Amino acid sequence: MSKVAVLAIGGNSLIPDAQHQTIPDQHRAAAETCRHVVRLIREGYNVVLTHGNGPQVGFLLRRSELAAHELHRIPLDICVADTQGAIGYQLQIALRNEFQRLGMNRTALTVVTQVIVDRDDPAFKKPSKPVGGFMSAQDAEKRRAEWGWEVVEDAGRGWRRVVASPEPKEIVEFEPIEALVKTGFVVVAVGGGGIPVYQDPERGLVGTAAVIDKDLASSLLASKLKADLLIVSTAVEKVYLHFGKPEQKALDSVTVGEARRYIAEGHFKPGSMLPKVQAAVGFVERGGEQAIITDPDHLVSAVKGSAGTRIVAG
């Protein structure tokens, strides 16, 4: 296979809604997502699959809180590692079943991936990424005092823990990922943005309580692999200006310069479309040919140029 595509799938590809969160629900969602992934593979791409893990990490953190009276708590970096393994398993089994159904001799595997961040990243001084569930003001203050959490009030809905979301700097397991891709494996990597670690002068790599944006980590991985294509999968077919308003406008093809102008004008919501556009822009600015943002149903048609939003140089 001569063409490499890094495909970042969103949380909706694994947990479509609040009514379908059980493990069997997740297996069914993974199977549906992987049918689209395999269609892309059949178009001639060797796919590197990345994924989000926000809901799954939230579930683990909640279980840890409920069991804290009896068992040790689970640090956030371990939650990311746990979910990388669990989601990787769900994707591997779904891909294997689809390969067998279609008579394809392909193998998928997961690389539990660490991503280095800068301990002096400004994000650590002002944590802003919500994790876990909502709390009362009383419980939030208790967690702040006993567990050292940073907590904030969230738009009148309750209090939540917030952690840093630093920029990804280096992928620790990049060399084995690259070797596996070159061998023809379908690799699942940098799940949830990667396990956040930093380099300590004395202790070496150390895990930290942070969340790395999975689209930005996927963009970094795509650049290092010199991938032909970065695809960011989301809940909508295209990127829109004035999204949700009567004057909303779908974007078919956007240059990096245009995308940066739209970012500056505030068209894209932080924590939603903004990091996806930033990831696409970053990939192209670092020498990538093009990036695509679309939903799973339009994955192949977007690659063929008849759907999705395409970000190109210029």
Annotated active-site residue 11? The verdict is: yes
Q: Between 76-102 and 54-66, two packed helices, what is the crossing angle to 10 degrees?
A: 130
Coil, strand or helix at 38: helix
Annotated active-site residue 224? The verdict is: no
Q: Evaluate whether 111 touches 189 at the Cβ level (below 8 Å).
A: yes
Annotated active-site residue 269? The verdict is: no
Annotated active-site residue 3? The verdict is: no
The tokens describing 51, both together, are 């994924």
**One of 10, 88, 276, 282 is an active-site residue; which one?**
276
d(CA 34, CA 296): 9
- The residue type found at 39 is R
**One of 12, 46, 194, 308 is an active-site residue; which one?**
12
- The residue type found at 12 is N
* Residue whose entry in the numeric block shows the structure tokens 């620790």: 172
The CA dihedral of 228, 230, 231, 232, to the nearest 10 degrees, is 180
Annotated active-site residue 126? The verdict is: no
**One of 52, 53, 88, 129 is an active-site residue; which one?**
129
- The residue type found at 118 is D
Chain-centre distance for alpha carbon 51 = 4
**One of 11, 52, 88, 288 is an active-site residue; which one?**
11
Residue 30: name the closest of 299, 303, 296 by CA.
Answer: 296
**One of 52, 214, 238, 288 is an active-site residue; which one?**
214
* Residues labelled as active-site residues: 11-12, 129, 214, 276
